[in-house]
């Protein structure tokens, strides 16, 4: 059974069609990357998968069940600053377990353990504004993973980080994912990031009415090191094949943006 | 160094006032006499007479502040989260806020008598709107990503209110503490001045009736000192309550 499936999903905001008949799926334990030009509606697809918005037509299936309301099987790693600024790192990570009704002590213990796993041991008492961008992303990751969701939705989570921090975090993400194989839907506009992380790359058309137009299986060996794998011949070949498709969409998006 | 300059400046002003009063350039009848003013203040504290009045004024201030803040937070959260109710009530709120509310003091005196209640009522009307508008703003400006994140982490409606909207709103309330405590104090003193049986405002009113300008100035100085102490207490509370916020200068950098 697919962990997540889009069946001919369309979304309109008024007259504008943002998503136009999108169909794709994420298998159990699969790491799928969605790539598309900037502004094509990638985040909207993720919000549909999360149940934060409902489709105008079509269905989103979660583990075979049609999604109504929030997707309770999924954790969502947002692109922006989603930590609660009035809570310390520890309290932010403990928020999910607390919401679920765990005692403060149990929630704090779980949060402490996850802070350790993302490399933030000893930083639990810091507030978000006292942390670097990379630390905040780590805290966000811990905040999402502490609830152990079987599905992980990630919206360009590392796009705001500098290149070194970004590659470190990508490797850590892979290590964590390797350990318990969640089903991941990862959104990015960075093709290299998509290839180095995922099992399958889905290319989205330029907006409006975005939808998947091509799919590529990534047969690169795991475990991977995201910095090193980019230097391999196989990686370069895969990138060239996908870029051939993606380039046209990027150009379309660019012309539409230039015309507007 | 700055402290020395400040002391010098204060001494200079007092000396000018004193000389003016002694020579008759500043008529003591209208401008008072610094020595007599400080004698009055000293007398108040030596006999202990002032404490009763100060206690009443401060009690009124704190009650007005507490009542205004609590209801301002409640109303702000309510209207912030129900746009339709807000749309209906909007003109009424605007009108109530635009009204010069100090003029309500005589009405409150008729409704609640000359005791503490009428002073608290006036301070309440001043504090309420400051807090209310801040909470409204705070609720509206919760970043959508923080809200969605809390929802995805499983927060129920009540938990969203308790853990997202309330802290976001309170940060705005805390940052307006100086204004709202000050307004509560103004409300208490003005209401006392317009009709009362006790309080520092009452002392000033009495003295004014007897054309005792020294006592009026003494009352003003005591009130000023009291306001400064309140303001200092707010600053202390602020640094405790807003640890999670970046300092203003740091925020500008980033």
Q: What is the DSSP string of chain B?
A: -HHHHHHHHHHHHHHHHHHHHHHTSS-HHHH--HHHHHHHHHHHHHHTHHHHHHHHHHHHHHHHHHHHHHHHHHHHHHHHH-HHHHHHHHHHHHHHHHS-GGGGHHHHHHHH-SSHHHHHHHHHHHHHHHHHHHHHHHHHTS-HHHHHHHHHTT--HHHHIIIIIHHHHHHHHHHTHHHHHHHHHHHHHHHHHTS-SSSHHHHHHHHHHTT-HHHHHHHHHHHHHHHHHHHHHHHHHHHHHTTTSPPHHHHHH-
Mean pLDDT of chain B: 90
Report how far Cα B73 is from the mean position of its chain's Cα atoms. Answer: 16
Q: pLDDT tens for residues A125-138?
A: 999 999 999 999 99
User: Contact B149/A82, CB-based, under 8 Å?
Assistant: yes
The CATH number of B39-242 is 1.10.3720.10
pLDDT at B250: 43
pLDDT at B72: 94
Using a 10 angstrom Cβ sphere, with 0-12 exposed, 13-18 middle and 19 or more buried, the burial of residue A112 is middle
Q: pLDDT tens for residues B132-154?
A: 999 998 898 899 999 999 999 99
User: A111 in helix, strand or coil?
Assistant: helix
Q: How far is Cα A83 from Cα B107, in angstroms, rounded to an integer?
A: 48
Token pair for B211? 């054309």
The verdict on A41 touching B (C-beta cutoff 8 Å) is no
The confidence band for A243, taking pLDDT boundaries of 50, 70 and 90, is very high
The verdict on B249 touching A (C-beta cutoff 8 Å) is no
pLDDT at A252: 87
Tell whether the model's pLDDT for residue A257 goes beyond 90.
no
φ/ψ of residue B39, rounded to 5:
-65, -40
Tell whether the model's pLDDT for residue A178 goes beyond 70.
yes
Length of chain B as a residue count: 254
Mean pLDDT along residues B176-190 = 91
Kindly report the CA angle at B47 between B45 and B48, in degrees rounded to 5? 55
Task: List the alpha helices (DSSP H) in chain A.
Answer: 42-50, 89-99, 104-117, 133-145, 163-180, 191-197, 226-229, 233-259
Q: pLDDT tens for residues B1-29?
A: 899 999 999 999 999 999 999 998 888 88
The CA radius of gyration of chain A, in Å to the nearest whole number, is 18
Q: Give the closest-approach CA distance of A144 to chain B in angstroms.
A: 7
Share of chain A above pLDDT 70, in %: 99
Q: How many Cβ contacts (< 8 angstroms) between chains A and B?
A: 70
User: Contact A95/B163, CB-based, under 8 Å?
Assistant: yes
User: Contact A147/B146, CB-based, under 8 Å?
Assistant: no
pLDDT at B248: 54
For residue A81, the chain B residues in CB contact (below 8 A) are 143, 145-146
User: Contact B245/A85, CB-based, under 8 Å?
Assistant: yes
Which residues 6+ apart lie within 8 Å of B209 measured at CB? none
Q: How many CB atoms lie within 10 A of CB A4?
A: 26
Mean pLDDT along residues A9-30 = 93
Share of chain B above pLDDT 70, in %: 97
The verdict on B98 touching A (C-beta cutoff 8 Å) is no
* Higher pLDDT among residues B249 and A125, named by residue: A125
Token pair for B189? 């003193």
pLDDT at B251: 41
Q: Which of B152, B156, B163 sits opposite A76 (nearest CB)?
A: B152
Q: Please say whether the dihedral angle defined by the alpha carbons of residues A249, A250, A252 and A257, taken in this order, is positive or negative.
A: positive
User: A150 in helix, strand or coil?
Assistant: coil
Q: How many CB atoms lie within 10 A of CB B246?
A: 16
From residue B72, give the alpha-carbon distance in Å to each of B126, B165, B243. Answer: 11, 14, 23
Q: Give the closest-approach CA distance of A101 to chain B in angstroms.
A: 10
Q: Tell which residue, B79, B19, B66, has the closest CA to residue B181.
A: B66
Share of chain B above pLDDT 90, in %: 69
For residue B156, the chain A residues in CB contact (below 8 A) are 99
* Residues 84-123 in A contacting B (C-alpha not used; CB under 8 Å): 84-88, 95-96, 99-100
Mean pLDDT of chain A: 92
Q: How far is Cα A129 from Cα B247, in angstroms, rounded to an integer?
A: 10
Q: How far is Cα A60 from Cα A71, in angstroms, rounded to an integer?
A: 10
Q: How far is Cα A161 from Cα A169, in angstroms, rounded to an integer?
A: 9
Q: pLDDT tens for residues B18-62?
A: 999 999 888 888 888 899 999 999 999 999 989 999 999 999 999
pLDDT at B172: 85
* DSSP structure string for A159-182: TTS-HHHHHHHHHHHHHHHHHH--
Which residues 6+ apart lie within 8 Å of B254 measured at CB? B246
Q: Give the closest-approach CA distance of B69 to chain A in angstroms.
A: 20
Query: What is the per-residue burial (b if ≥16 Cβ within 10 Å, else e) of B179-215?
Result: ebbbbbbbbbbbbbbbbbebbbbbbbbebeeeebbbb
Of the candidate ranges A6-10, A136-140, B97-101, the one whose mean pLDDT is the lowest: B97-101
Token pair for A11? 């979304």
- Best of A86, A94, A132, A136 to disrupt the B interface by mutation (most B CBs within 10 Å)? A86
Is A199 within 8 Å of A32 (Cβ atoms)? yes
pLDDT at A259: 64
Report how far Cα A192 is from the mean position of its chain's Cα atoms. Answer: 15
Token pair for A200? 């399958």
The confidence band for A159, taking pLDDT boundaries of 50, 70 and 90, is confident
pLDDT at B253: 37
From residue A243, give the alpha-carbon distance in Å to each of A35, A110, A255, B250. Answer: 10, 42, 18, 42
Q: pLDDT tens for residues A66-99?
A: 999 999 999 999 999 999 999 999 999 999 999 9
């Amino acid at each position: 059974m697919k962990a997540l499936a889009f069946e001919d999903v369309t979304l309109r905001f008024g007259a504008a069609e943002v998503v136009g008949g999108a169909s794709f799926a994420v298998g159990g334990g699969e790491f799928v990357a969605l790539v598309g030009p900037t502004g094509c509606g990638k985040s909207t697809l993720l919000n549909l998968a999360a149940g934060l918005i409902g489709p105008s037509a079509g269905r989103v299936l979660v583990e075979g069940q049609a999604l109504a309301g929030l997707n309770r099987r999924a954790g969502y790693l947002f692109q922006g600053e989603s930590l609660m600024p009035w809570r310390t790192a520890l309290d932010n990570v403990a928020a999910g377990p607390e919401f679920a009704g765990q005692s403060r002590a149990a929630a704090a213990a779980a949060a402490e353990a996850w802070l350790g796993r993302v490399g933030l041991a000893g930083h639990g008492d810091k507030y978000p504004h006292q942390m670097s961008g990379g630390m905040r992303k780590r805290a966000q990751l811990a905040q999402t993973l502490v609830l152990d969701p079987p599905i992980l939705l990630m919206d360009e989570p590392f796009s705001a980080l500098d290149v070194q921090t970004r590659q470190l975090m990508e490797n850590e993400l892979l290590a964590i994912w390797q350990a318990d194989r969640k089903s991941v839907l990862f959104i990015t506009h960075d093709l290299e990031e998509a290839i180095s992380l995922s099992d399958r790359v889905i290319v989205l058309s330029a907006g409006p009415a975005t939808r998947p137009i091509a799919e590529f299986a990534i047969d690169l060996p795991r475990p991977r090191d995201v910095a090193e794998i980019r230097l391999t011949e196989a990686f370069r070949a895969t990138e060239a094949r996908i870029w051939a498709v993606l380039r046209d969409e990027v150009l379309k998006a660019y012309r539409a943006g230039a015309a507007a | 160094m700055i402290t020395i300059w400040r002391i010098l400046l204060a001494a200079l002003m007092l000396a000018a006032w004193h000389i003016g009063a002694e020579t008759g350039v500043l008529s003591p009848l209208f401008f008072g006499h610094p020595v007599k003013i400080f004698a009055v203040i000293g007398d108040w504290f030596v006999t202990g007479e002032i404490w009763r009045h100060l206690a009443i004024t401060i009690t009124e201030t704190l009650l007005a502040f507490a009542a205004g803040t609590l209801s301002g937070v409640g109303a702000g959260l309510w209207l912030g989260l129900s746009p339709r109710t807000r749309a209906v009530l909007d003109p009424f709120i605007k009108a109530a806020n635009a009204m010069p509310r100090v003029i309500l003091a005589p009405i409150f005196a008729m409704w609640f008598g000359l005791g503490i209640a009428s002073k608290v009522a006036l301070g309440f009307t001043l504090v309420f709107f400051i807090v209310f508008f801040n909470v409204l703003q705070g609720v509206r400006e919760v970043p959508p990503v923080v809200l969605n994140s809390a929802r995805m982490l499983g927060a129920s409606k009540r938990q969203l209110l308790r853990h997202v909207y309330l802290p976001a709103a309170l940060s705005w309330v805390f940052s307006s503490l100086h204004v709202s405590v000050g307004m509560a104090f103004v409300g208490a003193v003005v209401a006392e001045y317009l009709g009362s049986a006790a309080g520092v405002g009452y002392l000033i009113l009495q003295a004014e009736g007897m054309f005792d300008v020294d006592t009026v100035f003494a009352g003003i100085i005591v009130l000023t000192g009291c306001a400064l102490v309140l303001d200092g207490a707010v600053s202390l509370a602020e640094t405790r309550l807003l640890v999670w916020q970046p300092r203003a200068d740091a925020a500008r950098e980033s």
